[in-house]
Amino acid sequence: MEIKVAIFEDNKLVRDALEAILNGTAGYTCCGTFPDGSRWEEKIKRSTPDVILMDIEMPGMNGIEVTRQMQQQYPEIKIVIQTVFNDSEKIFQALCAGASGYILKNDPPNKYLEAVTEVYNGGASMNVSVAKKALAFFSATSFTSFPAGDEEHNLSQREKEILLLMAEGLSCKAIADKVFISYDTVRTHVKHIYKKLHVNSRNEAVIKAGQLKAFSKL
């Protein structure tokens, strides 16, 4: 079964290159290419994508706002934000708008394909350098409570503390040393965090927390 990918990108050269990569790789097909987000509802209905590669800077409505509107109506569609900007604030906004991943335009083709596959399978994809910036940005921001109605996601104060340290890139052993608890206790907290947020990795936990508006800057 092929993964159907739509491309929203204002640069024709980039658009054409991505289309060629997708159509030239087994397991993927480009179901539509669009230069902007205008009348995006019609474009989605016509192309019926599984995954969208979304440019962050487009004429008219930017990719973050298009992502926000799409996720309200089509939450099952996975969106990977792509941009030349390694900008923590934009990363934060894109993830909170509902994007499942973030990739830089200078990443090689195989990274694009990996990102598409990962989000299609329910994961969260981020360029390594982007992930570090996003995690640093998130870790510098204090946690508040999750939105009303999301009680099942509520983390304890200790779990929030652990997640912030994870966001800083600390290993379980380093976290244990820093907060003066055992390694096994840290691992137990991490398991609880993953279970409450319904994720399977550190990046996914931080992304999900941002999407659930767990940070005070939202």
Mean pLDDT per 10-residue segment, the chain (218 residues): 95 95 97 95 96 92 92 91 75 79 87 91 70 60 47 75 77 90 92 85 70 45
**pLDDT reported for residue 131:** 62
Domains of the chain with CATH codes: 3-131 (3.40.50.2300), 141-211 (1.10.10.10)
**pLDDT reported for residue 198:** 82
Q: Are strands 28-34 and 51-55 parallel, antiparallel or unpaired?
A: unpaired
**pLDDT reported for residue 60:** 87
What size, in residues, is the chain? 218
Q: Helical H runs in the chain? A: 12-23, 40-47, 63-73, 88-97, 109-120, 128-139, 157-167, 172-179, 183-197, 202-211
**pLDDT reported for residue 45:** 95
**pLDDT reported for residue 199:** 80
**pLDDT reported for residue 217:** 35
Mapped onto helix, strand or coil, the DSSP state of residue 128 is: helix
